[in-house]
Structure 1
Amino acid sequence: MTSLIYPTYFPNITHFWTVVNADSVYFEVCDNYQKQSFRNRTEIYAANGKLALTVPVSYSQKNRQLYKDVKIANEEPWQIQHLKSLQSAYSMSPFFEYYLDELMPLFEKEFNYILDLNLKCFDVLLNSLQLDLSPVHTTTFEKEPVNKIDFRHLAQRKFEAPTLQPYTQVFTEKHGFIPNLSILDVLFNEGPNTELYLKRQDLTLV
């Protein structure tokens, strides 16, 4: 399977499922940026339930911009806030400390563009899961992709994910199982079993 996806900020489970189950992956980097998507947003399981972490960007709907040209609004201390939220949400998870060192550069280095940040997120995740995969960047935008399965719709927040098998989450006893959060939720709770968990899912996403 050759998957065509958007690189997003710590992608959710269904999004990352397309990576683990692909023979090759293409990153769509030639499109116009769209607001209200997971390009600059991820969702985690915090003490009070689902929590959205959003990277602030400088973007105006009036002036269309390419995804690769959209800058991060680094005037806001978003990296500190996101790291604190992750620590609060997952410090009691089995594998948080195990992966924290690999993740820290994402919160210590200043990124100017949201695409660059998202590409680095994918690099870190692939390394953490020891996945031997080298995504290819698109060179032109194809509305109807050829020889690729189009999963670009998974970056839309309105996409309704299919049923996922439950796994143990830190606050399950408080709020029950919350599906399709950031892949970080699986990583911190399942650790090295994350890839096996993803491959067990029988999903229809197209």
Structure 2
Amino acid sequence: MSKILLHPCYFPSIATFSVLAQREVIWEAYDNFQKQTYRNRCYICTDQGRHMLNIPIKHVGGDEGRQKYRDVQPDTSTNWQRLHWRSLETAYRTSPFFEFYEDEIRPLFQQPSNNLLDFNLNSITTIADCLGISVSTEQTQKFEAKPKGIADGRFLVIAKSSLNLNSEVYPQVFEDRHGFIPNLSILDLLFNEGPNSLLYLRNMALDFLDA
């Protein structure tokens, strides 16, 4: 079974984390940063429904052109970390397992972050620790449009793509208002299902990989 090449995302989607729970991964570290992807956004559920948390970034202007993902810095002028943590508290304070995990997750929003890629990898490791699994730290050493000997799961970073998922329903905080919303951030599953999250991830079919 080949390894899977993935982008380190901001609190990845449940689909992406199901890959982490079932397969060995390599992280793409030499691609160009692109807007409107899960590199700097994730989706949670609030009382208003599906809600995006977006990390503002410092844009490179002028003649410098595109940024490499590994060089992208969050824009701290808006104190996005405090705002995002507040949103998570508001959305999930009443969920069954928010208090169980908040001491592990809160520090991610309190420590200064100067690099988006490093922040995302640190966040992924933190969630993996909460789940009781280990994730690979292996990264690419160059960009390859068509990598050899490895399955390409980088399409999972595209926020607007629709995956053919057969998601098992689990209880969500605002399900009575909005119905079940599939494939949100791993945080939604973790705060609602707690220790059962790992079994949920390992039971998810990976047909969407086509690999």
TM-score in terms of structure 1 length:
0.96
Partner of 1:39: 39
For the Cα contact (< 8 Å) 1:151–1:205, is it kept in 2?
no
Cα 1:136–1:177, aligned 2, differ >3 Å: closer, same or farther?
same
Letter in 2 for 1:85: S
Distance in 1 of aligned mates of 2:21 and 2:183:
15
**Which has the larger strand fraction?**
1
Gaps of 5+ in 2: none
Q: Aligned-pair RMSD on alpha carbons? A: 1.2
What residue in structure 2 maps to residue 122 of structure 1? 124
Q: Which residue of 1 aligns with 2:6?
A: 5
3-state SS of paired residue (1:43): strand
Q: In structure 1, what is the equivalent of residue 202 of structure 2?
A: 199
- Distance in 1 between residues matched to 2:88 and 2:201, nearest whole Å: 22
Deviates more, 1:157-166 or 1:64-73: 157-166
Q: Deviations over 1:114-160 (max 9, x none)?
A: 11110111110111111033331111111111221111000001211
Q: Which runs of 4+ in 1 moved over 4 A?
A: none
Identity over aligned pairs, percent: 42
Q: For the residues of structure 1 that align with 2:194 and 2:142, how far apart are their CA atoms?
A: 36
Asked whether the 8 Å contact 2:125–2:134 carries over to 1, the reply is: no
Deviation at 1:60, TM superposition (A): 4.1
Instruction: Give the secondary structure class of the aligned counterpart of 2:5.
Output: strand
Rounded to whole Å, the distance in 1 between the matches of 2:150 and 2:157 is: 17
TM-score (normalizing by structure 2)? 0.94
Aligned match of 2:150: 148
Q: For 2:12, what is the secondary structure of its paired residue?
A: coil
- Extract unaligned runs of 5+ from structure 1: none
Give the corresponding residue for 2:91: 89
State the distance in 2 between where 1:65 and 1:175 align: 38
